[in-house]
Structure 1
Amino acid sequence: MSTTFRHPDILEIARRDGRVTVDGLAERFGVTSQTIRRDLTNLTRSGVLERVHGGAVLASGLTNMEYEARRRLNAAGKQAIGQAAAAHIPDGASVFLDIGTTSEAVARALSAHRGLLVVTNNLHVAEILRASDCGSVIVTGGALRAADNGLVGPLTVQSIDNFRFDCAVLACSAVDEMGDLLDFDLQEVQVGQALLRRAHEVILVADQSKFCRSAPVRIAGLADVGRVISDSPLPAALASLCARSGAIIEIVVPK
């Protein structure tokens, strides 16, 4: 297979899994590690990937990926994370689910719960739960962000401030090496900061791709959450941060 024909497949794997590894690609395509490194170098020069130790990740920037691309990215990992997060939410709890495709995976896993009060600024989450008997679903006010059906802005923050949640499920676009939880939209970040103030317990749901990306706006730090659920072990520095703050790390295995 020529370099030209490998590149679309490499990008598709990166979009699906969040990252690619030199060894995994070499085995998949039946070529040498040196050949794959050249492929990744070319894709990095074109701006679609960023090199990391042992492989590459989707390139970061000042804007997020389109919603459909994010929805497809590591879908199996997000499903496993969603099921694990839902397992920590008891029947009868008050819960906030924010914007993000991983939050939507949590919503799907909550459909068998009963007696919940779910507040969300994510219209996809509301639609997922509308057909279930999980309990009451309240959609916040706010400005509709057409790109992903999220609600953001001062009205969203005001809505959140009317509640005290047993649990909030927080998603983010990236977690950097300092343990900062990052996103692309300042208004969305302000929503995340509001839910941190109003929740008794905060669960961070972050699949493996989040630990390989960057984004320009800080939501909070790992020390501000009580539990981190991911489908991949956290980098050693981040695991140490969680240990010092008392945050529980839960690693799930996608089916």
Structure 2
Amino acid sequence: MAKDSKKSGRQAHLLSHLEQNHYVSIEEITALYGVTTQTARRDIMALEEQGKVRRLHGGATISTPVEPSVLRQRRVDNATAKERIGLLTAELIPDGSAVFIDTGTTCEAVARALVKRRDLRVVTYSLRVATTLSESTDFAIAVPGGFVRQVDGGVFREETAEYIRRFKFDVAIISVSGIDHEGDIGDDDHAEVAAVSAAMAQAGRVILAVDSSKFGRRALVRLASLRDIHTLVTETLPPEPLLGRLHRSNVQIHT
């Protein structure tokens, strides 16, 4: 009984640590609590089964680092702009392409517009994107297995990034939480960043689809820099100095 109490207390403290730091490695857990790597992994697995954390390679991240209310609000913010961005992005995708599509409301708008394309092969970790395309097209669609984040339909597990690395893409369509004035793009979730990084590395072209509310915003986790992006699709030109950084990074801008 004392052993179970000790384990429960350790896992509760680990969850509190994750809520503050958003990510913890196996090595950090062993050092913090004086346990073996096997025990650290079992603690992570137990918290994952409760839906509280998501395993990543070598560690874990908090299941929902952003408040659900914030994520729900993003579903309605700038909805008209996102629909326009979706239509313009879809025009840039040739029929027959192999495409990765990120999660989020902007990428859902892209998916709704992509139903007019033909013979696409799509990989996504967004159930909302996959459902939109599967109901309206005959595209080949691949989705990794894992736990579903109910607020946005994202699917995550430790092996998600490795699953995505098995594919090669003509185009990766991504969206992010922010593009700061230093030219870094990022998100608020380690698991999303890991998945999108894997897709970008396998893509011949990367399209960043974001509305103007993301300009000048610093996200929690760095994903890449503007030099790693080929095309930006948005509803209005970003302000300086961000616009200058886009030009110096040779990013094509579509508005």
Q: For residues 216 and 113 of structure 1, what CA distance do their matches in structure 2 show?
A: 34
Aligned to 2:160: 156
Q: For residues 195 and 154 of structure 1, what CA distance do their matches in structure 2 show?
A: 15
Aligned to 1:228: 232
- Using the aligned pairs only, state the percent identity: 40
Deviation at 1:203, TM superposition (A): 0.2
Q: For residues 243 and 157 of structure 2, what CA distance do their matches in structure 1 show?
A: 33
Is the Cα contact below 8 Å between 2:216 and 2:242 reproduced in 1?
A: no
Counterpart selection for 1:63 from 55, 61, 66: 66
Counterpart selection for 1:177 from 181, 184, 206: 181
Q: For residues 182 and 70 of structure 2, what CA distance do their matches in structure 1 show?
A: 26
Paired residue secondary structure (1:99): coil
Q: For residues 120 and 236 of structure 2, what CA distance do their matches in structure 1 show?
A: 29
Deviation at 1:212, TM superposition (A): 4.6
Scaled by the length of structure 1, the TM-score of the pair is 0.71
Q: For residues 137 and 88 of structure 2, what CA distance do their matches in structure 1 show?
A: 20
Deviation at 1:134, TM superposition (A): 4.7
Scaled by the length of structure 2, the TM-score of the pair is 0.71
Aligned to 2:99: 95
Aligned to 1:136: 140
Residue segments in structure 1 that go unaligned for 5+ positions in a row: 1-61
Deviation at 1:225, TM superposition (A): 0.5
Is the Cα contact below 8 Å between 1:126 and 1:137 reproduced in 2?
A: yes
Is the Cα contact below 8 Å between 2:209 and 2:233 reproduced in 1?
A: yes
Aligned to 1:106: 110
The answer on 1:191 being equivalent to 2:171 is no
Q: Which residue identity does 1:127 align to in structure 2?
A: T
Aligned to 1:246: 250
The answer on 1:78 being equivalent to 2:44 is no
Is the Cα contact below 8 Å between 1:110 and 1:134 reproduced in 2?
A: no
Q: For residues 199 and 233 of structure 1, what CA distance do their matches in structure 2 show?
A: 25
Runs of 4+ in 1 over 6 A off after TM superposition: none
Residue segments in structure 2 that go unaligned for 5+ positions in a row: 1-64
RMSD value over aligned CA atoms?
1.5
Deviates more, 1:216-225 or 1:232-241: 232-241
